[in-house]
Amino acid sequence: MKFAVFVSGQGSNLQAIIEAVEKEEIKAELALVFSNRRKAFALQRAESAGIKTLFLDRRHYATPQSYDRDIVIHLKEAGIDFIVLAGYMKILSAFFVKKYPKKILNIHPSLLPSFKGARGIKDTFTYGAKVAGITIHFVDEKMDHGPIIMQESIKVSEKDTLETLEEKIHKIEHRIYPKAISLFVDGRLKAKGRKVEVVS
Ligand code: GAR
């Protein structure tokens, strides 16, 4: 199986995925790293690991769909079977999602359906929530909405600052995202409606 990781920023999750592939904890080929941001540090991480990268500039496309259509062309050329979003801060069009039904995974730094959007950790923290967390889910046509694969919670202590909470959340992300991807690759995730079962 070949997969692509979509990124927009730092790429710390990408790094964890690269290492899991190298250790064969994920038994699939990471064939492409795609970014909508030319300056994403994640692209440098991919290049250092010898992984093919692709950047497409949204400003050169008339609509979100025409942008996504071009991405799909590249994915098909590269023989990509599934996609992992790792800090990809752009909403995929319905056109794109329909091309890869239940074949796009996303990680979001909150316990969905709470605190959707681009600032999951900050919104959890400033809301004063006592519990924070991470959600890994299949992507459907609504933002931060698809069937949940895995969630992990963590208590927010009174001593936590936004920075310490971010650090704790990222640490959990780096541990559990490779595991979820591995379950997917091994065919162990069975989705029925909103329920995702892990089978042995
Ligand atoms: C991660 O915390 C990820 O959960 C979040 O962006 C960060 C990317 O960090 N994704 C979202 O908020 C998606 N809505 P990274 O670039 O260091 O992996």
Q: pLDDT (tens digit, 0 to 9) for every residue of the chain, 200 residues total? A: 999 999 999 999 999 999 999 999 999 999 999 999 999 999 999 999 999 999 999 999 999 999 999 999 999 999 999 999 999 999 999 999 999 999 999 999 999 999 999 999 999 999 999 999 999 999 999 999 999 999 999 999 999 999 999 999 999 999 999 999 999 999 999 999 999 999 99
| Number of domains present in the structure of the chain | 1
Domain residue limits at 24: 2-198
Nearest C-alpha to atom 9 of ligand 1 is from which residue? Answer: 87
Q: How far is the CA of 87 from the centre of ligand 1 (A)?
A: 4
CA-nearest residue for atom 1, ligand 1, is 87
Report CA(11)–ligand 1 centroid distance (Å).
8
| Buried residues in 30-39 as b, exposed as e (16+ CB within 10 A) | bbbbbbbbee
Of the candidates 74, 108, 137, 145, the residue annotated as catalytic is 108
The helix (run of H) or strand (run of E) holding residue 90 is none
- Which atom of ligand 1 has the smallest separation from the CA of 120? 12
What residue owns the CA closest to ligand 1's atom 17? 12
CATH number at residue 146: 3.40.50.170
Q: Count Cβ atoms below 10 Å from residue 128 Cβ, excluding itself.
A: 7
This model's pTM is above 0.85: yes
